[in-house]
Structure 1
Amino acid sequence: MTSTFNTQLHSLSFAAFILREIMDHPQEDETPQSRLKQVGMMSILYIMNQGHQALTISNLVEITKLTRMGVSEVIEPLLKRGMLTETFVKNSMGRGKARQFEIAPEIFEKLRAFGQSS
């Protein structure tokens, strides 16, 4: 029972942290709509991360039903903010390169520090 509670608490902490970071710190030339899309994308990325799914453009297109360009438009500001890191890996066919993302470890470090101070 405790582990379920901890998982829920971690999810709520993550969501609250992301919401505050994005909404309270607008980037130059960024609209409220863009920030809201970023919050939603981070929520999807977190759920994928918890499910051990690869955070790739293709997987995001499949889940969100956005176009590749639509996904990229939301991902770019998150990379700029430092909330995501990006690496290039071989694509599913093993020939070309695919962009793979990871939620920045610093976010989880801040969440752990917050949990210890409570």
Structure 2
Amino acid sequence: MTRALNQQWHSLAFSAFIFHEIIDNPQEDETPQSRLKQIGMMSVLYIMHQGHQRLTLSNIIENTGLTRTGVTETIDPLVKRGLLTETFVKNSMGRGKARQFEIAPEILEKIRDFESGKNPAVDRRQST
């Protein structure tokens, strides 16, 4: 299969997985609007990830045009769900701390397993 087609499959698998994780597992006191924002944010973060951009609050604000509070309100539930990991790094000026995020490695591994046919749910369907 061509590299471009592989990339399309990976993007589709990521989107479907994130949609399923967020919509099918609502958190307490979470609105449908909040879940849709999370899905949209994960799409933005995935594109930034694919473009090798650092996932810092400043970069996310720059890419989305949202306020710092708007980004934080959408990012925090994603960290709580385990879809993102958070670390503290030095800010761009090297003096303070900045929040940096990563798409959880487990998520990317699950998608790779799914694409390669190692997904147990897929294996069960094929054996019936």
Task: Tell me if both proteins adopt one fold, taking TM over 0.5 as the criterion.
Answer: yes
Structure 1 gap segments, 5+ residues each: none
Give TM-score, length-normalised by structure 1. 0.97
Does residue 7 of structure 2 align to residue 41 of structure 1?
Answer: no
Equivalent pairs counted in the alignment come to 118
- The Cα of 1:115 is off from its aligned counterpart by 1.2
SS in structure 1 at match of 2:85? strand
Match of 1:92 in 2: 92
Map Cα deviations across residues 30-72 of structure 1 (whole Å, 9 max, x no partner).
0000000000000000000000000000011111111101100
- The Cα of 1:116 is off from its aligned counterpart by 1.9
Counterpart code for 2:25: H
Give TM-score, length-normalised by structure 2. 0.90
Distance of 1:56 and 1:82 partners within structure 2: 17
Counterpart code for 2:107: I
Match of 1:82 in 2: 82
Match of 2:125 in 1: none
Match of 1:59 in 2: 59
SS in structure 2 at match of 1:89? strand
Pairing of 1:24-35 with structure 2 (within 5 A): 24-35=24-35
Which aligned segments of 4 or more residues in structure 1 are displaced greater than 6 angstroms? none
SS in structure 2 at match of 1:114? helix
Structure 2 gap segments, 5+ residues each: 123-128
Distance of 1:8 and 1:89 partners within structure 2: 32
Distance of 1:77 and 1:83 partners within structure 2: 9
Distance of 1:53 and 1:112 partners within structure 2: 21
Distance of 1:46 and 1:107 partners within structure 2: 11
Distance of 1:14 and 1:24 partners within structure 2: 15
